[in-house]
């Protein structure tokens, strides 16, 4: 799962970041550390997503790889070649900018040829025609960027990045300017193209769905560091800390205060009951309990399984599944979250229906009940 696809062509190169830092210093202002020590090893042909909220340093990291931002300290390697101090034009990376960066006075054809001309390529015409054919933009070649829809602009921008056939492709928020329908289609296309051409690809995004669907592995970033790097499954099922648990997943994870029960292996949540946990945190420790709505199981009355008793507040029926927002017994709803929103959400299987006011018992498998330090948010394993 973590390995790159075997079909990666020889052109693909690995991309390595070693202890990468970026600190902005402006006169009269506190120095601002945007990126503080990023280590990342991307396999040849792999697609990695940098996921995080705005201001987490993901775009700065991308720009340092491209050479558009100077590196304060650390190293960038493409294959075995250190490119840290090379100008952008000599790094051989393709960038898909968020704003597309198509040159308005030139036609699409000229836009695509522009980069090849800089390198004095001989076969400019055929190469432009070939990439246009592959991305199905041949009809657009004689138009100006102003005449294109945002979906078409995105394709042209992608073609512009790909036409030089760079071993490393960097995409900054590639889908953010598209409407919902196009987003899904372009997402699929991106994935297919990336597989086919085998570029080592970094996608910067704040949208977890984009990261989950596109990436072989994703790096969740916050505060200029990578909080967790792994496959989407690893990140979803085994979050490194509370930030990752909270940031990834829709609807977001339930977080409530609790205490590790005597003897360990279970955690007591106020007057609502207990849940089993795989954590080996010491008995009596005050913790924050994280349980994903998808991992909640409704338990029948009279079952011997440890569970939380709750009352259904709101039930939303969404065809493939339902979402029940419940109030835990013995918890003041506004404080129940203990840092998260003051609610507990349970995802129910399709077909099931719950009435408001109905009592329910919520259970979970031990490996799905994550414990976090209430102060630092660290995962207690």
Partner 1 sequence: MTATRRPGRRRFSPASAGADLLLVLWFAFSLFPILWMVLLSLKSRADQTSTYFVFTPTPDNFATVLSEEGVRLTGVDFTGALLTSLVTSLGAVLLSLAIGVPAAYAAGRWAYRGSGDIMFTILSFRFAPELMVIVPLFVIYNQLGLFDSDAGTIWVLQLVTLPLIVWILRSYFQDMPEELEQAALLDGYTRTRAFLMVALPLVRPGIAASALLAFVFAWNNYVFPLILTGGQNPTVTVAVTRFLGGGGQAFYNLTAAAALIAALPPLLVALSIQRYLVRGLSFGAVKS
Note the residues at the interface with partner 1 (CB under 8 A): 26-27, 66-68, 87-91, 93-95, 97-101, 103-105, 114-115, 118-119, 160, 164
Taking the least distance from each CB to partner 1, the nearer of 122 and 301 is 122
Taking the least distance from each CB to partner 1, the nearer of 87 and 300 is 87
User: In which element (H, E) is residue 180 found?
Assistant: helix 180-197
Q: Least CB distance from residue 47 to partner 1, whole Å?
A: 20
CA atoms within 13 A of residue 262's CA, in its CB half-sphere: 0
Q: Least CB distance from residue 118 to partner 1, whole Å?
A: 4
SS3 98: coil
What's the CA gap between 247 and 253, in Å, rounded? 8
Interstrand relation of 168-172 and 200-205 (parallel, antiparallel or unpaired): parallel
Q: Least CB distance from residue 124 to partner 1, whole Å?
A: 12
What's the CA gap between 76 and 86, in Å, rounded? 10
The per-residue DSSP string of 303-340 comes to --S--EEEEEEEEEE-SSEEEEEEEETTS-HHHHTBTB
Residue 320, Cβ neighbours under 10 Å: how many? 7
Are the CB atoms for 108 and 140 separated by under 8 Å?
yes
Q: Least CB distance from residue 14 to partner 1, whole Å?
A: 20
| Residue reference for tokens 């994550």 | 370
Residue 211, Cβ neighbours under 10 Å: how many? 24
Residue 210, Cβ neighbours under 10 Å: how many? 22
Taking the least distance from each CB to partner 1, the nearer of 42 and 95 is 95
Q: Least CB distance from residue 178 to partner 1, whole Å?
A: 17
The per-residue DSSP string of 215-226 comes to -SEEEEEETTEE
Are the CB atoms for 361 and 379 separated by under 8 Å?
no
Q: Least CB distance from residue 158 to partner 1, whole Å?
A: 13
Q: Least CB distance from residue 65 to partner 1, whole Å?
A: 11
What's the CA gap between 235 and 44, in Å, rounded? 21
Q: Least CB distance from residue 168 to partner 1, whole Å?
A: 11
Taking the least distance from each CB to partner 1, the nearer of 104 and 357 is 104
> For residues 45-78, b (16+ Cβ closer than 10 Å) or e, as one string?
bbbbbbbbeeebbbbbbbbbbbbebebbebebbb
Q: Least CB distance from residue 23 to partner 1, whole Å?
A: 16
């Amino acid at each position: 799962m973590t390995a790159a696809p075997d079909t990666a062509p020889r052109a693909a190169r690995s991309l390595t970041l070693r202890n990468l830092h970026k600190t902005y210093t402006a006169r009269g202002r506190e120095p601002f550390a945007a990126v503080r020590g990023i280590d990342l090893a991307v396999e040849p042909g792999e697609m990695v997503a940098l996921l995080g909220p705005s201001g987490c340093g993901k775009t700065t990291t991308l720009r340092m790889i491209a050479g558009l931002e100077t590196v304060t300290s650390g190293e960038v390697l493409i294959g075995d070649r250190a490119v840290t101090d090379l100008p952008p034009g000599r790094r051989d990376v393709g960038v898909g900018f968020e704003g597309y960066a198509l040159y308005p006075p030139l036609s699409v054809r000229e836009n695509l040829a522009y980069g090849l001309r800089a390198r004095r390529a001989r076969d400019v015409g055929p190469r432009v025609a070939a990439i246009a054919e592959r991305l199905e933009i041949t009809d657009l070649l004689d138009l100006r960027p102003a005449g294109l829809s945002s979906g078409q602009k995105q394709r042209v921008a992608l073609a512009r990045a790909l036409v030089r056939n760079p071993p490393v492709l960097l995409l900054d928020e590639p889908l953010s300017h598209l409407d919902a329908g196009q987003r899904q289609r372009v997402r699929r296309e991106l994935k297919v193209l990336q597989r086919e051409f085998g570029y080592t690809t970094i996608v910067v995004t704040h949208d977890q769905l984009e990261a989950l669907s596109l990436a072989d592995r994703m790096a969740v970033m916050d505060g200029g560091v990578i909080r967790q790097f792994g496959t989407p499954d690893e990140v979803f099922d085994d979050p490194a800390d509370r930030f990752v648990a909270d940031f990834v997943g829709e609807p977001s994870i339930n977080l409530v205060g609790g205490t590790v029960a005597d003897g360990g292996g279970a955690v007591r949540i106020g007057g609502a009951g207990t849940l089993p946990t795989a954590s080996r945190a010491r008995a009596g420790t005050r913790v924050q309990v994280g349980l994903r709505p998808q991992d909640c199981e409704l338990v029948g009355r009279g079952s011997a399984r440890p569970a939380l008793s709750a009352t259904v507040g709101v039930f939303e029926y969404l065809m493939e599944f339902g979402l029940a927002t419940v109030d835990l017994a013995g918890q003041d709803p506004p404080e129940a979250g203990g840092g998260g929103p003051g609610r507990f959400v349970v995802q129910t299987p399709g077909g099931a229906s719950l009435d408001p006011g109905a009592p329910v018992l919520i259970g979970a498998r031990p490996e799905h009940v994550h414990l976090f330090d209430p102060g630092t948010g660290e995962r207690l394993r």
